[in-house]
Amino acid sequence: MNVVIMGCGRVGAQLAALLEEAGHKVAVLDTEPYSFRRLPAAFKGTPLVGDGTDEEYLKKAGIEEADAFVAVTQGDNRNVMAAQIAKHVYNVPKVVCRIYDPIREELYHTLGLETISPTMVGAQLLRDKVVG
Amino acid sequence: MYIIVVGGGKVGYYLSQALLSEGHEVLILEKDAAKCDAICEQLGSVVVRGDGCEARTLAEVGTERADMFIAVTNEDEDNLVACQVAKHKFKVPRTIARINNPKNEALFKKLGIDVTVSSTNLILEHIQEEVPTHPLVHLLTLKGGDLEIVEVKIPPDSSVVGKRMRQIVFPPDSVICLMIGKWGPKVPTGDTILEADAQVVAVTRPEAEGALRAALTE
């Protein structure tokens, strides 16, 4: 699969490494080149400096041939906007978007985006540890 | 009308001031405490500190009874999300988003924002109008965005000076609506003669703009 990841934080970099290990072709976008230090030393994919809400950089990252797009920057709104561009403009078959705010997550989920709220997932896991 | 304005910067402030003076009920949402205090001092208690993209904040300020929702922050993604939450979660009938990056205009339309205002484009157009050497100026983009009204000034050395309108080959879908020459404005016919330094107002498609300019100025 061709995968474009927006945001090279801990999660983005780790995901890139996992996907590459599994044999997928990965491009990672981040506005801050220093973030790419988190990628494994042997990373063969494409690190690309640029804003994933800008179609120019999405195209450079190969969005037109992508099978999947993942938005994991720190900004919920940036993730939401980039995910909608990938889904509605470039018709990427699989689009996943991280949204910290659980209420916004629920809304965009009902609007048809595939979303994950780490706030919700994290709190539930911790609760299970505490009371389980 | 009850109007919610997201973003208490310069645009949000002056917009709210104008809406208040027209007698509307206005509420400004602003994240920054210092800006909130300044607005409160100038306009009264019409501001709530909070994130205009957060559904909980929007519920607290009664967004479900808002007639209009206007997002004018400096961040396009924030304006987009605020308007989408207002529209889809609170069913606000009319959402307006400010766009800073002109590239986002088509996208916002596609994603269901009712009205977009591109501040960068507006400023550019106004500056272009003031640059005397600029041969083609955008006056207005017509609804839907695939037609626009432009103004072209005929340079004295243009090959069309002294020719009749019908002798000139214009690009398809370009219509000359008005010519303002030294005798004042007139609606041109095929017999109208093009004068040097006349201003021509035309409807055209954005992609034909270059050809129209070339037809009148070269």
Q: Look at residue B171 and tell me whether its pLDDT is greater than 70.
A: yes
Residue A38 CA to residue B50 CA, distance in Å, equals 34
Residues B112 and B12 grouped into a single domain: yes
pLDDT in tens, A91-112: 999 999 999 998 889 889 988 8
Count of domains observed in chain B? 2
Give contacts of A111 with chain B, Cβ < 8 Å: 84, 88
Residues 79-118 in A contacting B (C-alpha not used; CB under 8 Å): 80-81, 84-85, 88-89, 101, 103-104, 107, 110-111
CB within 8 Å: A103 and B84: no
Give contacts of B81 with chain A, Cβ < 8 Å: 76-77, 80-81, 104
What Rg value do the Cα atoms of chain A yield, rounded?
15
Q: Would you state the pLDDT for residue B132?
A: 64
Residues B12 and B91 grouped into a single domain: yes
Domain ranges of chain A: 2-131
CA-based nearest residue to A28, from A42, A49, A10: A49
Residue of B nearest to A53 (CA): B77
CB within 8 Å: A77 and B80: yes
Domain boundary among B122, B142, B164: B122
Question: Which residue blocks in A3-95 are alpha helix, DSSP H?
Answer: 10-21, 55-60, 76-84
Domain boundary among B122, B151, B186: B122
Residue B143: CATH number of its domain: 3.30.70.1450
CATH superfamily, with its number, for domain A2-131:
NAD(P)-binding Rossmann-like Domain (3.40.50.720)
Range(s) of the domain holding residue B169: 131-217
Q: For the ranges A48-52, B126-130, B190-194, B212-216, which has the lowest average pLDDT? A: B126-130
Residues B86 and B7 grouped into a single domain: yes
Residues B23 and B106 grouped into a single domain: yes
Q: Would you state the pLDDT for residue B47?
A: 96
User: How close A91 gets to chain B, by Cα (Å)?
Assistant: 13
pLDDT in tens, B89-99: 999 999 999 99
Residue A50 to residues A5, A47, A61, B174, B198: CA-CA distances in angstroms? 12, 10, 9, 38, 45
CB within 8 Å: A78 and B77: yes
pLDDT in tens, A77-93: 999 999 999 999 999 99
A63 and B CB contact within 8 Å: no
**Mean pLDDT score of chain B:** 91
Domain boundary among B95, B122, B149: B122
Beta strands in A7-111 (DSSP E): 25-30, 46-49, 68-71, 94-98
- Give me A78's structure tokens: 């940036």
Q: Look at residue B118 and tell me whether its pLDDT is greater than 80.
A: yes
A132: pLDDT confidence band, cut at 50, 70 and 90? confident
Q: Would you state the pLDDT for residue A78?
A: 95
Contact A27, A48 (CB under 8 A): yes
Residues B92 and B146 grouped into a single domain: no
- The whole model's pTM is what? 0.77
pLDDT in tens, B3-46: 999 999 999 999 999 999 999 999 999 999 999 999 999 999 99
Determine the longest span between alpha carbons in chain A, in angstroms: 48
Q: Would you state the pLDDT for residue B133?
A: 65
A73: pLDDT confidence band, cut at 50, 70 and 90? very high
Residue A82 CA to residue A14 CA, distance in Å, equals 20
Q: Which of A77, A80, A107 sits opposite B55 (nearest CB)?
A: A107
Residue B44: CATH number of its domain: 3.40.50.720
Q: Which of A80, A88, A103 sits opposite B54 (nearest CB)?
A: A103
